[in-house]
Amino acid sequence: MADQVVLYAKEGNIGSITINRPEMKNPLNMGVFTELDKALDKVAADKDLRAVVVTGAGNAFVSGADINELLGYSTQEGWTASRFQQSVFNKLEKVGIPSIAAINGFALGGGLELALSCTYRIASTKAKLGFPELGLGIIPAFGGTERLVRTVGYAKASELILFRSIIGSEEALRFGLVHEVAEPEQLLDKAREKAQNLASLSPVAVRLEMELLLNIATQGLDTSLALESSLGALAVSSPQAKELLGAFLSKGKK
């Protein structure tokens, strides 16, 4: 199990997906996205499932994208990767059953984009959330800008992204970035409790209501995501991004 970067399990009618790279604080790379895509296919195919809990192994949710992988992207490779990564998070959002993000630590960059793709978000009191990308010469490119604006509004979204604010769970709760805060030892129990609550409802009614909510919330999303991928690819392949990403990696090795 240690070599599996995404773990999927099922208990009763509740599924769980765990990003499993704890030694690196669960960064996202194409391997993780590929395995997450496969796990979501299992979720979609299981007609008995009523909810799924998404979390990270160890003491982090997801610390962001894998910098080593980003450094190697050309513009074309950045575009192709972004479109696939967006499609995986879209699949999570549209899979037809509610998803509960149990944010147990860092949810930065791509980690916060993953959490925003979930239906409901519970953050540990020790969680830290934010979008540090601009400080590295890149932009959120997994659907984060669109979902953040949709969730907290333009003013707060622009503040979080432009000023690279890293905030705690209580502040995130105040302006609606997360729905609930829990002590670390209670986080998964709270997430499963919410999942069980949803599992008690009519699956047909839940699926129909989620379809309606998403339709209202995401009109025009496809066009925005295509633009995000284009701009994200330009950003990640720029000389400034290569310099800043490389410096970040070098700093981490000291």
Would you name the residues annotated as active-site residues? 113, 133
- Specify whether the backbone of 115 is left (phi greater than 0), alpha (psi in -120 to 50) or beta: alpha
Sheet holding 14-19, edge to edge: 6-11, 14-19, 51-56, 99-103, 120-124, 180-182
Q: What are phi and psi of 120, to 5 degrees?
A: -140, 140
Strands 14-19 and 99-103: unpaired
Closest CA to 238 of 78, 85, 107: 78
Three-state secondary structure call for residue 240 = helix
Strands 180-182 and 106-108: unpaired
Alpha-carbon dihedral 35, 99, 86, 176, rounded to 10 degrees: -140
Specify which residues 180 forms β-bridges with: 122
- Specify whether the backbone of 14 is left (phi greater than 0), alpha (psi in -120 to 50) or beta: beta
Which string of b and e fits 135-148 if b means at least 16 CB within 10 Å? ebbbbbbbbbbbbb
Strands 99-103 and 106-108: unpaired
